[in-house]
Amino acid sequence: MVVAARRMPELPEVESVRRGLAEAGIRSPITKVWRSKLDLRVGEHWQRKHENLRCLVGATPGEVDRRGKYLLWHMSDRHGAPLVLLIHLGMSGRCGIALPEQPKVDHTHLVIDFEEGRQLRFVDPRRFGGLRAGPDVLTSEPLASLGPEPLQPDFDGRMLAAGLGHSTRALRDGLLDQTAVAGVGNIYAIEALFEARLHPLLECARLQPSAWQRLALALRAALLRGIDNGGTTLKDFRNVTGEVGRNQDDLRVYGRGGQPCPACGAALREFSHQGRGGVFCPRCQAKPRARKVG
């Protein structure tokens, strides 16, 4: 299995795109929506029949928001009723603002024309991204089952423990599930577990309240650092203006197997579990009294 190579944009990357779209300040109505003939992301919530992009014509864009790894562009439809355009970047999805005369690059799957003259373009070579629009986006899947936002002011260890405290899964896998905490993927989970000095394969149910709190704080710190650095670009990620992130140079352990631990100097160790790779420090993240999950 080669799934260890999955590199999905996580919360900081999506937040970087959100900020770029918000800074573009587009507030004029949508005049045209063009969608390529190719399907994006095949899955229950992502079939083309659910995309409903026609309802965007005549809509006026408002705030650009984010929930977990999903971009949400709030709009009012032509009758003034609320409507949301949801964009999931998948693995290689990019959003950009362009002018109509700029040539459309390969793998462009969505072009939205605004009355003021600019366009939103969604480009996705691997087509793991997803699009949806409608009045019910916020209350239906995939948003309906998302856990709390790790950057919301009251996010803490109790929230994490409420979602994962009884789980027999490995800690790292629980964090990736999106139902206990939204927006965390493998990179930031691995970084946060290192900061919290917790072994990635500890069984969730074995954590004490103090460890959940340490992990909640570490998650928040890792995500905020990622946002400050404009996201992590290991391969595909670009922001709205086409720039790569800088957080890949600031990762403490992810992708650094065999290198010395930045805290203690021991050689960082790689592991693979449930088809996903990761890195930990065998000394800082040791778990002498707990058993590993299988």
Binding positions for Zn ion, rule: CB under 5 A: 261, 263-264, 266, 281, 283-284
Query: Cβ distance 150 to 184 under 8 Å?
Result: yes
Catalytic residue list contains 9: yes
* Token duo for residue 255: 């992708």
C-beta of 165 vs 257, nearer to Zn ion = 257
Nearer to Zn ion, 33 or 251 (CB): 251
Asked if the bond preceding 142 is cis, omega within 30° of 0, the reply is yes
Q: Tokens 């366009």: give the residue.
A: 119
Concatenated DSSP letters of 70-129: EEEEEEE-TTS-EEEEEEE-TTT-EEEEE-TTSPPPTTEEEEEEETTS-EEEEE-SS---
CB of 201 to Zn ion, least distance (A): 16
In contact, 267 and 260? CB cutoff 8 Å: yes
We find the least distance from the C-beta atom of residue 251 to Zn ion, in angstroms, to be 15
Catalytic residue among 7, 9, 191, 252: 9
One-letter amino acid for residue 95 of the chain: C
CB of 202 to Zn ion, least distance (A): 16
Q: How far is the CB of 281 from Zn ion (least distance, A)?
A: 3
Give the SS3 label for residue 46.
helix
Task: Specify the residue, 57 or 263, whose C-beta has the smaller distance to Zn ion.
Answer: 263
Task: Name the residue whose CB lies closest to Zn ion.
Answer: 261
Task: Judge whether 69 counts as a catalytic residue.
Answer: yes
- Residue in the structure block whose two tokens are 């709205």: 240
10 is a catalytic site residue: yes
Residue 219 Cβ vs Zn ion, minimum distance, rounded to whole Å: 19
* Dihedral sign, Cα of residue 256, residue 189, residue 19, residue 50: positive
Say how far apart CA 182 and CA 179 lie, in whole Å: 7
Residue closer to Zn ion (CB basis): 162 or 267:
267
Nearer to Zn ion, 244 or 263 (CB): 263
Least Cβ distance, residue 262 to Zn ion (angstroms)? 8
Which residue bears the tokens 């704080």? Answer: 217
d(CA 286, CA 278): 15
Q: Which of 69, 94, 252, 256 is catalytic?
A: 69
- Tokens representing 23? 């800074």
Instruction: Out of 7, 10, 41, 203, pick the active-site residue.
Output: 10
Measured from the CB atom, is 81 or 267 closer to Zn ion? 267
To the nearest 10 degrees (0 to 180), the angle between helices 157-164 and 209-228 is 110
Q: Which residues are catalytic?
A: 9-10, 69, 276
